[in-house]
Amino acid sequence: MEITTQEPQEIAGKIAVVFQEVLGAAEVPATDSGFLDIGGDSLTAARAVSLISSRLGARITVRDLFRERNADSLALVVLRRLAA
């Protein structure tokens, strides 16, 4: 179990950076931007959840990403998984 002192906003920022990387965006998207709305699809979602899981130490799924839709909401899932 990994103990984290990270705030939701910090985690959301890291997730947004992953979104930028997998989408090849010029800028980091806003943390409240929907992944699908900014050009994501199932293939980029699979890459994103793999990177997010490895970088943040919490297993998340494509289903989590599609259900939560944006980095802000997904950060809360990451925090719950880290706390479990």
Q: Could you report the per-residue pLDDT of 14-42, keeping only the tens digit for each?
A: 999 999 999 999 999 999 999 999 999 99
Residue 5: name the closest of 84, 79, 81, 59 by CA: 79
Residue 24 within any structural domain of the chain:
yes
**CATH number for the domain harbouring residue 33:** 1.10.1200.10
pLDDT in the model for residue 5 = 64
Can you tell me the distance from the alpha carbon of 33 to that of 11, in angstroms, rounded to the nearest whole number?
15
pTM over 0.85: yes
Looking at the structure of the chain, the number of domains it has is: 1
Residue 2 within any structural domain of the chain:
no
- Listed in sequence order, the DSSP H helices in the chain are 8-23, 42-56, 62-68, 71-83
Range of the domain at 76: 8-83
Asked if the model's pLDDT at residue 3 lies above 60, the reply is no
